[in-house]
């Protein structure tokens, strides 16, 4: 999934008045969390996106973990719109997707060592 594909999907399923620049701020926040909290990258290794040059850049996560991005952006839209009941629901969906991703990553990779676990095929 690319940056522009993510934004188009979110705009389709949750029509909103936010700009791509607004959504880019949220996307860069979740990418920073993925890189620092899960992949254990240090600040100098972090990748962040800019528009328009990165609109066709592939995101770090691939299916089935792209739900992390979709639910994060939808939750941020709900929060910023002051739709707190919807925010609670989308946050719950994000938290489930995030937990599944983190569990998968911890099982497959040993981030502190920089190696894939034995038998992971990575």
The 10s digit of each residue's pLDDT in 105-121 is 988 886 566 555 554 44
Is residue 76 pLDDT above 80, yes or no?
yes
- Whole-prediction pTM value? 0.87
Which structure tokens are listed for 55? 């609109």
Residue 18's pLDDT is 98
Is residue 68 pLDDT above 70, yes or no?
yes
Residue 105's pLDDT is 92
Distance (Å, rounded) from C-alpha 88 to C-alpha 48? 27
Residue 31 near residue 60, CB atoms below 8 Å: yes
């Amino acid at each position: 999934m690319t940056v522009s594909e993510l934004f188009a999907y979110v705009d389709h399923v949750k029509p909103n008045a936010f700009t791509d620049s607004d959504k880019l701020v949220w996307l860069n926040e979740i990418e920073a969390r993925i890189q620092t909290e899960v992949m254990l990258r240090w600040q100098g290794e972090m990748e962040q996106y800019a528009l328009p040059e990165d609109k066709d850049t592939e995101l770090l996560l691939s299916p089935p973990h792209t739900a992390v991005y979709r639910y994060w952006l939808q939750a941020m839209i709900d929060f910023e719109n002051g739709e707190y009941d919807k925010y609670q629901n989308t946050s719950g969906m994000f938290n489930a997707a995030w937990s599944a991703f983190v569990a998968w990553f911890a099982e497959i990779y040993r981030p502190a060592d920089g190696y894939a676990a034995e038998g992971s095929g990575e």
